[in-house]
Amino acid sequence: MDLREPLKPTVPAEAQEITAPVGSVIVTIVLLNVLLMWASP
């Protein structure tokens, strides 16, 4: 008996895409805009 092999392997019903949360995307955009404002003369 191989202990590394799962006893009951399950496959998810639907494949889920890995997406970033909307909030973190908005925060990233805001921080990039602030950085651009400070970088420009």
pTM: 0.46
Please determine, for residue 34, whether its predicted confidence score (pLDDT) is greater than 70. Answer: yes
> Interior CA angle at 35 toward 34 and 38, to 5°?
85
> Tokens 């496959």 label which residue?
11
Measure the CA–CA gap between 10 and 8, rounded to whole angstroms. 6
Helix or strand run (H / E) with residue 30: helix 22-39
At 8-28, the pLDDT tens digits run 767 767 777 776 688 888 899
Q: Supply the pLDDT for residue 17.
A: 72
Rounded to the nearest 5°, which phi and psi values hold at 3? -75, -20
Amino acid residing at 32: L
